[in-house]
Amino acid sequence: MKLMLHVAPGIVRQPLIASVILETKALVNIERASIDAVSGEIVLEVPLDKSKEVMAAFERCGVKVVLLEIPVIRDENECVHCGACVSICPTGTFRFEDWRVVADSGKCIQCGACIVACPQRALNLVTR
């Protein structure tokens, strides 16, 4: 499952991920990380059986952790099933099934490429 970490500027220089890995021995995969002057956002893929432990460990370090259950939502009334989101997604979240676009939200890493690519503005990232 995917976790979104919100890292405050004060602790961004600490080796947060490394210490959580050492503590929990969870095989985490960093899928996306963007850090600027005001905040840091990191998306991690975490094995299901370790997820509670990993979340707790990050929270102890002062990181705000959000479970990305449905990272991207689609307005079914707006979607026309064109496919503009299909080939631009780096993780293959969208595909055609009998010419309807179906989403496998579990693959989404919230990069946001599809949000601007959707001509109907039917896609939105879920941030909390």
Binding site for other proteins (CB under 8 A): 80-88, 96, 98-101, 113, 116-117, 119-121
- Which residue in 108, 120, 115 sits closest to 77, CA to CA? 120
Least separation in angstroms between residue 77's CB and other proteins is: 10
| DSSP state, residue 120 | T
- Kindly state the smallest distance separating residue 98's Cβ from other proteins, in Å: 8
Closer residue to other proteins in complex, CB, 36/97: 97
Of 16 and 122, nearer to other proteins (C-beta) is: 122
Question: Contacts by 86-89 with C-beta closer than 8 Å and gap 24+?
Answer: 88/113, 88/114, 88/117, 89/113, 89/114
Question: What minimum distance in Å lies between the beta carbon of 72 and other proteins?
Answer: 16
